[in-house]
Amino acid sequence: MPVRDGHIRVLPIHVANKIAAGEVVERPSSVVKEFVENAIDAGARNIRITIVQGGRKLVSVADDGCGMTRDDAVLSLERQATSKILDVEDIERIDTLGFRGEAIPSIASVSRFSILTRRRDSDEGTLVEVNAGVLAGVRAAGCPQGTIVEARDLFCNVPARRKFLRSFQTEESHVKNVFTVHALAHPSIGFSLVVDGRDVLKLAPSASLDERVAELFGAEYFEALLPIEAEASGVKVRGYIEKPNRAYPLRRDQYVFVNSRPATAPIVQFALRESYPKQAGDARPAVILFVSCPAEDVDVNVHPTKREVRFRNASAVKTAISLAVEKALCLRAPAALPSVLPPPADPQIPAAPAPSPAASVPGNAPAPSAAVPSAAAFSVPAAFDPPPDPAGVPVQPPFRRTESLEPVQAEFVPDSSGAPSRPWKWFRFLAASASGYFLLDTDSGIVTLDPRAAVERISYERLLASRREGEDAASQRLLMPDTVVLSPAEAMRVREVLDELNSLGFSVEDFGGDSFKVDAVPLVAADIPSRDILAAVAAGLAESGAKRSVERLREETVAKSIAKSCSGLNVPGDPVSAAKLVEELVSCRMPYVTPKGRLVMMFTSNSELDRKFAKR
pLDDT in tens, 579-609: 888 888 888 888 888 887 788 898 888 888 8
Distance, CA of 535 to CA of 279 (rounded, Å): 24
Q: Is the pLDDT of residue 512 over 90?
A: no
Same domain, residue pair 287 and 382: no
When pLDDT is cut at 50, 70 and 90, the band that residue 206 belongs to is confident
Burial class of 196 by CB neighbour count within 10 A (0 to 12, 13 to 18, 19+): middle
Residue range 400-405: mean pLDDT, rounded: 40
CB 300 within 8 A of CB 216: no
Nearest to 128 by CA among 48, 69, 214, 174: 69
Q: Is the pLDDT of residue 289 over 70?
A: yes
Q: Is the pLDDT of residue 610 over 60?
A: yes
Q: Is the pLDDT of residue 400 over 60?
A: no
Question: DSSP assignment, residue 60?
Answer: E
CB 116 within 8 A of CB 126: yes
Same domain, residue pair 188 and 231: no
Lowest model confidence (mean pLDDT) among 250-264, 369-383, 490-504: 369-383
Residue 239 is predicted with a pLDDT of 95
In the chain, what are the helix, strand and coil shares in percent, each to the nearest 5?
35, 25, 40
Cα dihedral 388→392→396→401 (10° resolution):
-20
Helix/strand/coil for 108: helix
Find how far residue 296's CA is from the centre of its chain.
28
Say how many residues make up the chain: 616
Q: Is the pLDDT of residue 348 over 50?
A: no
Distance, CA of 175 to CA of 180 (rounded, Å): 9
CB 287 within 8 A of CB 318: no
Residue 23 is predicted with a pLDDT of 61
Question: DSSP assignment, residue 91?
Answer: G
Residue 363 is predicted with a pLDDT of 36
Nearest to 116 by CA among 60, 189, 40: 60
Same domain, residue pair 58 and 189: yes
Residue 607: inside a domain: yes
pLDDT tens for 321-336 read 999 998 888 654 433 3
Strand bridging mode 569-570 / 400-401: antiparallel
pLDDT tens for 33-48 read 999 999 998 999 999 9
Residue 349: inside a domain: no
Residue 385 is predicted with a pLDDT of 37
Count how many domains the chain has.
3
Domain boundary among 205, 221, 238: 205
Residue 4 is predicted with a pLDDT of 55
Domain boundary among 189, 205, 221: 205
CB 72 within 8 A of CB 49: no
pLDDT tens for 211-221 read 999 898 888 78
pLDDT tens for 534-570 read 888 887 777 665 444 445 555 667 777 777 777 666 6
Q: Is the pLDDT of residue 485 over 50?
A: yes
Residue 471 is predicted with a pLDDT of 61
Residue 477: inside a domain: yes
CA angle 128, 115, 71 (to 5 degrees): 55
Residue range 90-94: mean pLDDT, rounded: 47
Q: Which residues touch 560 (CB under 8 Å, ≥6 apart)?
A: 460, 540, 595, 596
Same domain, residue pair 228 and 194: no
Residue 8: inside a domain: no
By residue range, what is the domain housing residue 54?
13-205
Same domain, residue pair 124 and 190: yes
Residue 309: inside a domain: yes
Same domain, residue pair 168 and 304: no
Q: Is the pLDDT of residue 306 over 50?
A: yes
Q: Would you tell me how many other CB atoms lie within 10 Å of the CB of residue 12?
A: 9
Q: Which residues touch 86 (CB under 8 Å, ≥6 apart)?
A: none
Q: Is the pLDDT of residue 345 over 50?
A: no
DSSP 530-582: HHHHHHHHHHHHHHHGGGGGSHHHHHHHHHHHHHHHHTTEE---SHHHHHHHH
Distance, CA of 263 to CA of 274 (rounded, Å): 20
Start-to-end CA span in the chain (Å):
68
When pLDDT is cut at 50, 70 and 90, the band that residue 15 belongs to is low
Residue 5: inside a domain: no
Residue 7: inside a domain: no
Lowest model confidence (mean pLDDT) among 21-35, 112-126, 190-204: 21-35
Same domain, residue pair 199 and 237: no
Strand bridging mode 254-258 / 287-292: parallel
Percent of the chain with pLDDT over 70: 70
Same domain, residue pair 249 and 167: no
Give the domain CATH number at 510: 3.30.1370.100
pLDDT tens for 422-464 read 677 788 888 888 888 899 998 888 999 999 888 888 888 887 7
Q: Would you tell me how many other CB atoms lie within 10 Å of the CB of residue 250?
A: 15
Give the domain CATH number at 25: 3.30.565.10
Same domain, residue pair 594 and 535: yes
CB 318 within 8 A of CB 267: yes
Most confident of 150-159, 344-353, 508-517, 545-554: 150-159
Give the domain CATH number at 287: 3.30.230.10
Same domain, residue pair 277 and 310: yes
Q: Is the pLDDT of residue 384 over 50?
A: no
CB 340 within 8 A of CB 416: yes
Same domain, residue pair 137 and 274: no
Domain boundary among 165, 186, 205: 205
When pLDDT is cut at 50, 70 and 90, the band that residue 380 belongs to is very low
Q: Would you tell me how many other CB atoms lie within 10 Å of the CB of residue 104?
A: 26
Same domain, residue pair 426 and 519: yes
How high does pLDDT run on average in the chain? 76
pLDDT tens for 219-251 read 878 888 899 999 999 999 999 998 876 655 555
Residue 2: inside a domain: no
